[in-house]
Structure 1
Amino acid sequence: MNKPTKSRQPNGASSIFQGKDGRWHGYVTVGVKDDGTPDRRHVGRETRPEITKAVRELEKQRDSTGVTKAGQTWTVKTWLTHWVENIAAPSVSENTIDGYRVAVYHHLIPGLGAHRLEKLEPEHLERFYKKMRENGSSAGTAHQAHRTIRTALNEATRRRHLATSPAAIAKAPKVEEEEVEPYTLEEIQRLLLEAGKHRNTARWVIALALGLRQGEVLGLQWTDVNFEDGVLDVRRGRLRPRYQHGCGDKCGRKPGYCPQKANIRRETKDTKTRAGKRSIGLPEELARLLRQHQDQQARERLLARDLWTEKGYVFTSPTGEPLNPNTDFHRWKDLLKSAKVRDGRLHDARHTAATVLLILGVSDSIVDRIMGWEPGKSARMRRRYQHVTSPVLQQTAAKVGGLLWGPRLDVIEPAPGGSVPGPSQSPVPTEPTVYVALLGERRIPFLRREHADAVASRWGADHPGQPAEVEEWDREKWVAKGSGGTRPVRDRMPDCRIVHHAHAVYLPGGDRLNIGRDEQWSITAWEFETELYTDLPVRWHTTRRLGQEVEAQVRGADKGAVAAAFAEACAQAVDRAKRPDQYGDTEVW
């Protein structure tokens, strides 16, 4: 009688058998190991039904989500530490890794670190987020922790340390985005008036007028400023310093407070998107302010002597070093307090600039370029940054009313220079030709040739020796080269106003210097020539001159306000001459 032949399972099939120890064992092939051999996983149970069920579950897991990779047993703590230091750190920017490290070491590891990685459940995460909120963390901080662990666990899933990511299932903490209220025109003017009393005035003008991010402003170098073409190039951003001990950790302080601290991070990095690298038209008033700032920096360089470190930055410390973002933030807070303007984030200045562009009716494509928004995301960013203010609503309501009921004779159009563009100016011309009056270094655009000719003739008479002529530009040329997205095109004859001035100079120690002329006088000036102060009752500041004297300058359209501010400016100039260290001036006389 022939013996029955034993059937052999095909390669890769699961197997079940009872061992000599009486227990049932099962092996399931779940993949291939790194060396190319089959990866067979073992399960053991007491009875055959139990082992059959366990094998079927392992096969089901293999066929659906995959089986975790064999090897090191990870805890949440060991995986997060490995991920943030060895996987994330080499591949993300410095600012991003800073955020990851805060979330990992300050929140996630203390709250979840003891869990076995494969045992972590969505409910663990949701309870953790709730506990964070109960302990005082903001919704934004809890959401940052969620985003961080989601990224880390997604990487663990991709590497087969997890079958599925519990963070992909857990409900993220709810974050309600607060509506940002941009600063009003009056608040902006008060901020600029106050900024004029301190160093780096142009830094705040750039933030409020052009909407550059903090890092973009602090990363500007003089090679990025093209005065001839009136263009500002944004190419890089300032990074927050990261310090380490220079004393061998003997001082007992944090690295940032070590007397011998050393910065281990580069100062700047390129903008993170292609759209972030952009060129922005400079309003002439801002270009003039930057020239003054450049002259002031040259005087500081001479005063600092050997202490000056030349790195080419536009905004620096009194010794030439780039400004620290943390110091810059506190300067902003101090500026808000001294100007008596409501508290707000430094980034709110960017919201303000975007909203101003909305009020002016600047086209979306130019807004995107000025703000540096990536195509495909720009519509969402405009919704986030451009806030519908009362002037916009009033303008829209007037258009609807005019369409349905006809024009109203009792409605007065907003005046030029107000919060809504009136009939006298348009941000970008719709006519094919723009008449540009070239007045020295200024470019003033007009819709009518007679207005441009009249201004050029008057300018030439008032400024002998300076060129004054009119050129015809087409619309494309104006948008490309003439600051077409920021400078309004005028369709009326501009005003020539009386501007009141006051000026005094004080020697070191506080004695007044006789400058051989009247301390107060008045002159006529075009409104576009001196918009920084002809549209304001008064504007004043004090500065230290090359010869170490301190001068007080006051200008404005209100003679009484100029006289009152002159007394305040002189008092500050005397104090600055006596106590230079209180104003960031050098102590070397």
Structure 2
Amino acid sequence: MDKRTRAANGRSSVYLGNDGWWHGRVTMGVRDDGKPDRRHVRARTQKDVTAKVKKLERDRASGTLTRPGQRWTVGGWLEHWVENIISAAVRQSTLTGYRTAVYRHLGPGLGSHRLARLEAEHIEKLYAKMAASGLKSGTVHQAHRTLRTALNEAVRRGHIVKNPVELAKAPRLTDEEVEPFTVDEARRVLAAAEQQRNGARWVVALSLGLRKGEALGLQWPDLDLDAGTLRVRRALQRYPWQHGCGDSCGHSRARDCPSRTGGLITVETKSRAGRRGVGLPDPVAGLLRRHRDTQDLERQKAADLWEEGGWVFAQPNGRPINPRTDHNHWKGLLRKAGVREARLHDARHTAATMLLLLGVPERAVMATMGWSHSAMAKRYQHVTEPIRRDVAGRLASLLWDSPSS
């Protein structure tokens, strides 16, 4: 028979149950449905259960309470967060990164833990395991940022009191190596681009440093070739196909769904700094004029097959260029130019390096490149300083070294 003393309304109670355990019940507040939020704890001794009751009372007094209801696992919360909370708030490319971190790394590594019992040490062990498996530091750091964001939301919603990721030591992020082209390499790439359709695409990459999506998202109204200016307003991205019918169409592949969503989509630039105006050097403006004339001839040749979208860089039928196709064309261009294997992003690094070498003020370089933080410019110092010293050394040797007799 329970040895229970009836407590006044709202007061805590401690009693010995028929099961041989000591039980405690504490009223913590009111549930969403208006009923009292009465929490239950138990222990083998009266002393231990009393300590648990007092802790709940301290949490109640300090306001550090978890919400009643579902006891989330880490895996369950991460899946709920990525599919039902954050999916409508971020762009597709960001969501893809979150899903990769959740389903490939965080879920398998931490998913079985109770959300409220996850500790910093659990998280740090996962980071170490990921690094030991050979994953790049950027991948580990992406998992760290994803977990921190997801658990911050759990804190805001009262599912946990504090975020253990804030206590965990973040993995060291190794800066991506900046590998700009040499002047000779850049010239060879530009010479090869002159022989290709849409060759102006690569001139824009090397001279202006536009990101891939920004260049592919350019439309002719964004250019004022007489004034010599270009305005970056949007980016072109490829989103994966998704069913738009709620999986009711009967097709196993989302791309076959009559109501599918996805494909090539234009999005706003990622930041305010990304929406920017860029000055066009005279040779680039002249090249873009010739490119426009060539595209007019293609439009006439395609006739009714031309799909007018106003794209500066388009397929032979006027449609925008798929980023994957753009990537393949870049690799083919490097082979034709006889230049080392390089990322398209290295062309952007090249443009930034050239601007800094020319002594363009840092703020102007930031505006041209669409950087939000000055730290981006500092990443190039280890590249530009040796080149500057080399130029100074060559000049000194030319002007002051005495000729051999």
**TM-score category by the smaller chain?**
0.7 to 0.9
Instruction: Quote how far apart the aligned CAs of 1:12 are.
Output: 5.3
Pick one of 387, 392, 403 that aligns with 2:388: 392
Residue by residue, what CA displacement relative to the aligned partner does 1:61-111 show, whole Å, maximum 9, x if unpaired? 455682321111212222112101111011112221111112222332233
One-letter code aligned to 1:380? A
**Which residue in 2 is equivalent to 1:383?**
378
Q: Secondary structure at the match of 1:239?
A: strand
**Which residue in 1 is equivalent to 2:193?**
195
Which protein is bigger by CA-based radius of gyration? 1
Structure 1's unaligned 5+ residue stretches are 1-7, 402-407, 413-589
2: distance between equivalents of 1:202 and 1:180?
24
One-letter code aligned to 1:391? I
Pick one of 396, 400, 404 that aligns with 1:410: 400
Q: Secondary structure at the match of 1:241?
A: strand
Does the aligned pair in 1 maintain the 2:25–2:53 contact within 8 Å?
Answer: yes
Does the aligned pair in 1 maintain the 2:264–2:322 contact within 8 Å?
Answer: no
Does the aligned pair in 2 maintain the 1:203–1:217 contact within 8 Å?
Answer: yes
Residue by residue, what CA displacement relative to the aligned partner does 1:254-289 show, whole Å, maximum 9, x if unpaired? 657x69995525621111222211111111111111
Pick one of 269, 278, 283 that aligns with 1:280: 278
Identify, as 1 or 2, the structure richer in strand. 1
Instruction: Quote how far apart the aligned CAs of 1:363 are.
Output: 1.4
Q: Secondary structure at the match of 2:384?
A: coil
Does the aligned pair in 1 maintain the 2:28–2:39 contact within 8 Å?
Answer: yes
Question: Aligned ranges for residues 94-173 of structure 1 at < 5 Å?
Answer: 94-173=92-171
Does the aligned pair in 1 maintain the 2:22–2:45 contact within 8 Å?
Answer: yes
Q: Per the alignment, do residues 54 and 324 of structure 1 end up closer, same or farther by CA in structure 2, a change over 3 Å counting? A: same
Does the aligned pair in 1 maintain the 2:230–2:278 contact within 8 Å?
Answer: yes
Question: Which structure exhibits the higher relative contact order, with contacts defined as CA atoms closer than 8 Å and separated by 6 or more residues?
Answer: 2
Instruction: Quote how far apart the aligned CAs of 1:357 are.
Output: 0.7
Q: Secondary structure at the match of 1:388?
A: helix
Question: Aligned ranges for residues 285-364 of structure 1 at < 5 Å?
Answer: 285-364=283-362
Instruction: Quote how far apart the aligned CAs of 1:306 are.
Output: 2.5
Q: Secondary structure at the match of 1:171?
A: coil
1: distance between equivalents of 2:350 and 2:172?
26
Pick one of 24, 47, 50 that aligns with 2:48: 50
**Which residue in 2 is equivalent to 1:41?**
39
Q: Per the alignment, do residues 281 and 339 of structure 1 end up closer, same or farther by CA in structure 2, a change over 3 Å counting? A: same
**Which residue in 1 is equivalent to 2:3?**
none
2: distance between equivalents of 1:249 and 1:10?
60
One-letter code aligned to 1:104? V
Does the aligned pair in 2 maintain the 1:27–1:42 contact within 8 Å?
Answer: yes
Q: Secondary structure at the match of 1:41?
A: strand
Q: Per the alignment, do residues 345 and 255 of structure 1 end up closer, same or farther by CA in structure 2, a change over 3 Å counting? A: farther
Q: Secondary structure at the match of 2:239?
A: coil
One-letter code aligned to 1:349? A
Over the matched positions of the two proteins, sequence identity in percent amounts to 51
Residue by residue, what CA displacement relative to the aligned partner does 1:524-574 show, whole Å, maximum 9, x if unpaired? xxxxxxxxxxxxxxxxxxxxxxxxxxxxxxxxxxxxxxxxxxxxxxxxxxx
Does the aligned pair in 2 maintain the 1:315–1:323 contact within 8 Å?
Answer: yes
2: distance between equivalents of 1:209 and 1:338?
20
Q: Per the alignment, do residues 186 and 25 of structure 1 end up closer, same or farther by CA in structure 2, a change over 3 Å counting? A: same
1: distance between equivalents of 2:173 and 2:51?
44
Does the aligned pair in 1 maintain the 2:93–2:239 contact within 8 Å?
Answer: no
One-letter code aligned to 2:238? R
Q: Secondary structure at the match of 2:24?
A: strand
TM-score by length of 1: 0.61
2: distance between equivalents of 1:273 and 1:323?
23
Structure 2's unaligned 5+ residue stretches are 1-5
Number of aligned positions between the proteins: 393
**Which residue in 2 is equivalent to 1:232?**
230
TM-score by length of 2: 0.86
**Which residue in 1 is equivalent to 2:87?**
89
Instruction: Quote how far apart the aligned CAs of 1:166 are.
Output: 2.5
Question: Aligned ranges for residues 500-539 of structure 1 at < 5 Å?
Answer: none
Does the aligned pair in 2 maintain the 1:65–1:164 contact within 8 Å?
Answer: no
Root-mean-square deviation (CA, aligned residues, Å) is 3.2
Instruction: Quote how far apart the aligned CAs of 1:229 are.
Output: 0.9
Question: Aligned ranges for residues 552-563 of structure 1 at < 5 Å?
Answer: none
Q: Per the alignment, do residues 358 and 44 of structure 1 end up closer, same or farther by CA in structure 2, a change over 3 Å counting? A: same
Higher mean alpha-carbon deviation, 94-103 vs 260-269, is at 260-269
